């Protein structure tokens, strides 16, 4: 088998390793998938203006996010049900993240428990949270994450209800026998239902996730632990300002990978307004559409401190487990190193808005 040499080739190869229901679940977006496609197209609209005759003999990719040192400005986004891609699921992803010294954000809907993932190593783990209608369940999840050594809470704010993903509806998506949301089934018996003519995950959200969440609920959430709070799913400057006012220390500019509101602005297009609105009062991260080292470079030039990758991790996981995830990270690291050298940037601090033109 010829090894993939970029993330697009990993995606094509992953199709041959995954059942159709699993591949469609991972790859699909909401409704007409306009935002899904625009997340990628946004990067093609940004052009680079490289600097010449700069000493780039050594490239330094190190940075800090919420005080934690990272070997490169890359994190692994929260993604549910990773055991659909590989039996080791989130455990394999966590091992690759630890080896690369990058943050992994574990999903509430993981198929390995947050405690089992924490046993991999004392890595740079964050826990992604959905607030359930059952406040006791939510409190217990936060307390478990804190006890297990997770370094931050990453609250997803763009999913009061689940976006309509028609491929999942057509496939009547559910988890196969033996797979469950590991953080929930033992504690509360919650599982993803089998639903005739509908996605079981959509039904789960309608039954369990609290659609009445407001800014005031953040005060309650912050009272549950001393963990720093990161809000994922912000697309407007005024919401970013409000997030800071309510104590968020980080913001992930994200449209949920095009899986929620179809027609929403591309994450990259939303980034500059949010960076300006936050004005250094919180760290701004970005996810959505990252497939090349040049994409990371463009996001950093527009003000992101780091980026999160999602689907490519799943493609690597499907192809060869931990080794595949590690290769995905390494490919992006190599591409970013080359892109920085060719742009005249030896350090991340050298990257600024003068490097790009947005059209």
Which amino acids are annotated catalytic?
Answer: 256
CA separation, residue 79 to residues 282, 306, 308 (Å): 24, 18, 11
Dihedral over Cα of 346, 284, 205, 108: its sign: positive
For 59, other C-beta atoms within 10 Å of its C-beta total 16
Is position 156 annotated in a ligand binding site? Answer: yes
Is position 276 annotated in a ligand binding site? Answer: no
Is position 5 annotated in a ligand binding site? Answer: no
Is position 287 annotated in a ligand binding site? Answer: yes
Is position 79 annotated in a ligand binding site? Answer: yes
DSSP H helical ranges for the chain:
7-17, 20-27, 34-45, 89-100, 114-118, 135-147, 166-171, 182-188, 200-208, 217-222, 237-245, 267-278, 293-301, 311-343
Is position 291 annotated in a ligand binding site? Answer: yes
Is position 78 annotated in a ligand binding site? Answer: yes
Is position 122 annotated in a ligand binding site? Answer: no
Q: Say which DSSP state 7 is in.
A: H
Closest CA to 171 of 15, 19, 16: 19
Is position 130 annotated in a ligand binding site? Answer: yes
Dihedral over Cα of 302, 104, 37, 212: its sign: negative
How far is the C-alpha of 208 from the C-alpha of 132, rounded, in Å?
A: 6
How far is the C-alpha of 56 from the C-alpha of 46, rounded, in Å?
A: 23
Reduced to 3 states (helix: H, G, I; strand: E, B; else coil), residue 128 is: strand
Is position 256 annotated in a ligand binding site? Answer: yes
At 65, which helix (H) or strand (E)? strand 63-65
Is position 259 annotated in a ligand binding site? Answer: yes
SS3 content of the chain, % helix, strand, coil (to 5): 45, 15, 40
- Those residues with Cβ within 8 angstroms of residue 334's Cβ, 6 or more apart along the chain or in another chain: 293
Is position 181 annotated in a ligand binding site? Answer: no
For 153, other C-beta atoms within 10 Å of its C-beta total 24
- For residue 198, what are its two tokens? 């509908």
Is position 359 annotated in a ligand binding site? Answer: no
Is position 350 annotated in a ligand binding site? Answer: no
Calculate ∠ Cα 290-294-296, nearest 5°. Answer: 50
Is position 247 annotated in a ligand binding site? Answer: no
Is position 288 annotated in a ligand binding site? Answer: yes
Is position 254 annotated in a ligand binding site? Answer: yes
| Binding site residue list for FMN | 78-80, 107, 128, 130, 156, 232, 254, 287-291, 310-311
Annotated binding site for glyoxylate: 25, 165, 256, 259
Please report, in range form, the residues annotated as the binding site. Answer: 25, 78-80, 107, 128, 130, 156, 165, 232, 254, 256, 259, 287-291, 310-311
């Amino acid at each position: 088998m010829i090894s993939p040499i970029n993330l697009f080739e990993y995606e094509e190869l992953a199709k041959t390793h995954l059942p159709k229901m699993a591949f469609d679940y991972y790859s699909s977006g909401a409704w007409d998938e306009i935002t899904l496609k625009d997340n990628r197209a946004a990067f093609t609209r940004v052009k680079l203006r490289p600097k010449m005759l700069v000493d780039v003999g050594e490239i330094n990719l190190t940075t800090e996010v919420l005080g934690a040192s990272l070997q490169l400005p890359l994190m692994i986004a929260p993604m549910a049900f990773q055991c659909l891609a590989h039996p080791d699921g989130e455990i394999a992803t966590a091992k690759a993240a630890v080896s690369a010294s990058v943050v992994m954000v574990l999903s509430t809907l993981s198929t390995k428990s947050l405690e089992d993932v924490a046993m991999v190593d004392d890595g740079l783990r964050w826990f992604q949270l959905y607030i359930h209608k059952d406040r006791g369940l939510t409190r217990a999840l936060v307390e478990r994450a804190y006890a297990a050594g997770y370094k931050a809470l990453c609250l997803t704010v763009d999913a009061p209800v689940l976006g309509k993903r028609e491929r999942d509806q057509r496939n009547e998506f559910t988890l196969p026998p033996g797979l469950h949301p590991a953080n929930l089934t033992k504690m509360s018996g919650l599982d993803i239902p089998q639903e005739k003519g509908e996605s079981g995950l959509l039904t789960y959200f309608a039954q369990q996730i609290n659609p009445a969440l407001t800014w005031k609920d953040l005060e309650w959430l912050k009272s549950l632990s001393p963990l720093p709070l990161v809000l994922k799913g912000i697309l407007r400057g005024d919401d970013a300002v409000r997030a800071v006012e309510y104590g968020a220390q980080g913001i992930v500019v994200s449209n949920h990978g095009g899986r929620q509101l179809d027609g929403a602005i591309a994450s990259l297009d939303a980034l500059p307004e949010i960076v300006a609105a936050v004005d250094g009062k919180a760290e701004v991260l970005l996810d959505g559409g990252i497939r090349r080292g040049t994409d990371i470079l463009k996001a950093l030039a527009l003000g992101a401190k780091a980026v999160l990758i999602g689907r490519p991790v799943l493609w690597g996981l499907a192809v060869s487990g931990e080794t595949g995830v590690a290769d995905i990270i390494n490919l992006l690291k190599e591409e970013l190193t080359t892109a920085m050298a060719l742009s005249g940037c030896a350090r991340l601090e050298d990257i600024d808005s003068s490097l790009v033109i947005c059209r």
